[in-house]
Structure 1
Amino acid sequence: MSVQTEAENKMATLLVEVLNLEDISAEEIDPNDQLFGDGLGLDSIDALEIALAISQDFGVQMKAEDESTREAFATLKSLTDFVGKNKA
């Protein structure tokens, strides 16, 4: 398992809180594991909830039709990097 950066841990904590993940702690989310499918097993409703939380907490708008948004949701690392680059 890769070690989380401070920013990745903050994002992982957001995921756990927003999605009410009971079976995993923020520290257990590997930055390089997939968020959807075989990784955390998130779905499109989870993505909407995450996007809303990111908008509220970081001021970053994520548009479903934007290819960079799809790429951002691949892993914890890519989501953290996307928010870091687009923060208001």
Structure 2
Amino acid sequence: MILLRKLSTNLTSLQSNKSVTCSCCGHKMESLPLSVRKWTCPVCSAGLDRDVNAAINFRQQGMIKLRAEGLSVPANGGLRQSGHKPVAA
């Protein structure tokens, strides 16, 4: 329960201006009317859909926060799994 409250608080702090910050280079537009749904970043020229861009930014910031709290583990538990079996010496 405490974990859920903490994550909820962190999520609320993530919600500011995610749709006007470029998910490719991090450039933040000063103003962008809500009626503009697609825009091009003036720095890196990435074509961005406002909703998709915001979702990418939420995911990136969420991953950073979870890792900082020690709540996220890389795929496969961080263990490298190769397609080859070790050869006995």
**Structure that is richer in strand per residue:** 2
Which protein, 1 or 2, shows the higher relative CO under an 8 Å CA cutoff with sep ≥ 6? Answer: 1
Q: Same fold (TM over 0.5)?
A: no
**Structure that is richer in helix per residue:** 1
Q: TM-score, normalised by structure 2?
A: 0.31
